[in-house]
Structure 1
Amino acid sequence: MPFDPDRVTTVTFDSYSTIVDVDAAAQALADRVDDPEPVSTLWRLRSLEYTLVANFLDAYQPFYEMNRDALRYALDVFDADVTADERDEILAVYHELEVFDDVRDGIERLREGGYDCYVVSNGDPDMLSSMIAHADIGDLLADSISADEVETFKPAAELYRHAAARTGTPIDEIVHATAGWYDVTGAKHAGMQGTWVDRKGRPWEPVAGRPDLTVESIHELADALGV
């Protein structure tokens, strides 16, 4: 289905890889691991996989703890000599990841155009609080909504439906903007419009349909909404 801007009254955003750059986490590994890139890649992959498995096994724990376990596994796979304290220091980078350049100005355009904006994330409340403060967008957001509130991770429909209820918006009047392909498909499955924020020019994953809209920045989403 093509993107329908006339249906949209509320915009929700993912957090990691959409507002802040998780690739910057590799920098936190650079002083402790000879080749940080494969460790960082495996860390992110396992972190996602753990959340998906947790949904099916009813084994929820806050995302920060999932991320901690994933980091430990990735370091163990590559036989990295990193202490528990050093792991915590690496993990703490998630509180201060680099913010994409278009984030504040792009969300500001949407707010000025009359759209309520929210963050909907797997991140637990403490992570979201620090991310929003670091990104300097707290004054632009109506609220943030965490998977911790329903103890269920994306792409489960329950989280998106909970987000719609929290915003007080009919779910089909929300467009969810995210860099995660599984997040796009999860939002669409739940009844939202899904916008893929493809900052890196990657091919779309050939599963579960297409995004309603693909953009390279939040400014392009604002353009599509006519603000």
Structure 2
Amino acid sequence: MTPRRPEVVALDVNETLLDLAPIRAGLVEHGERPELLATVFARTLLTGFAAATTGTWCRFRDAFDAALAQLTDLSPSVRSGIADSFLDLTPHPDVEAALRRLVEAGVRVVTLTHGSPGVAEAGLERAGIAPLVERSLSSELIRAWKPAREVYLWAAGECRVEPAAMALVAAHGWDVHGAVRAGLTGVWFPREERSYPAVYDPAALVAADLGGAVDALLALPAS
């Protein structure tokens, strides 16, 4: 079935919209290698996914701290300071133009994360583009992690649209896969990942960058 132009576009936050450079800088400041960030971030997701899959739950910040504790010898206070740096994140250079294009086309824009509430808002405010986003949604409010189906259905409900009327744009294949399984239009583009995993349900759209993802969504036929 051909996807239709969405009424609402939800964008993932960490890496997709916001650059994790301050987190990397915090690790380097305390003697860690900059490339450790990718491993810490992956271990954070593993921790959260495992908790959710087994019927428990933890906050993103707690999973991040657990990952740092497993992979480094940093003290609890240093780990806490690095975690605080999530509030210092800023959008990637291509984000403002992409959000403006959606808004100017009459598409509602929200953010959707399982990260800590306030992170998306702080980054958007810092860049002066918060008015382009209708609302920021964190699934911590329902004690769930993406890519659980309930997160995407909850987000659609919060936006008062059917899942088919919402798109999820992310630079993480697992996130797009979850959205597709929930009935959303899943759109993937690369940042750190080089390709969309073939083991997942196909994304409705795959683009070379965020701007291309927005262009592809706006080129879809209207409902």
- How high is the TM-score relative to the length of structure 1? 0.88
Equivalent position of 1:223 in the other structure = 215
1:168/1:109 Cα in 2 relative to 1: closer, same or farther (>3 Å)?
A: same
SS state of the match for residue 220, structure 1? helix
Aligned: 1:59 with 2:59: no
Deviation of 1:200 after TM superposition, in Å, equals 4.9
Aligned counterparts, 1:1-227, within 5 A: 4=3, 6-22=4-20, 24-37=22-35, 39-75=36-72, 80=73, 82-200=74-192, 202-224=194-216, 225-226=218-219
**2:198 aligned counterpart, secondary structure:** coil
Identical amino acids, percent of aligned pairs: 25
> Could you say what the CA RMSD is over the residues aligned between the two structures, in angstroms?
2.0
Contact residue 91 and residue 124 of structure 2 kept, 8 A: no
- Find the residue that maps to 1:59 and give its secondary structure: coil
Any conservation in 2 of the 1:122–1:154 contact (CA below 8 Å)? yes
Q: Distance in 1 between matches of 2:214 and 2:86?
A: 27
Paired residues of 2:172 and 2:193 also in contact (CA < 8 A): no
- In structure 1, stretches of 5+ residues that fail to align are none
* Contact 2:12–2:112 (CA under 8 A) maintained in structure 1: yes
Would you identify which runs of 4 or more consecutive aligned residues in structure 1 move more than 4 Å? Answer: none
| Preserved contact between residue 199 and residue 216 of structure 1 (Cα < 8 Å) | no
Q: Calculate the TM-score normalised by the size of structure 2.
A: 0.90
Taking a change above 3 Å as real, the CA distance of residues 171 and 87 of structure 1, as seen in their structure-2 partners, is same
Q: In the TM superposition, what is the alpha-carbon distance from 1:226 to its structure 2 partner?
A: 3.9
Amino acid at match of 1:108: R
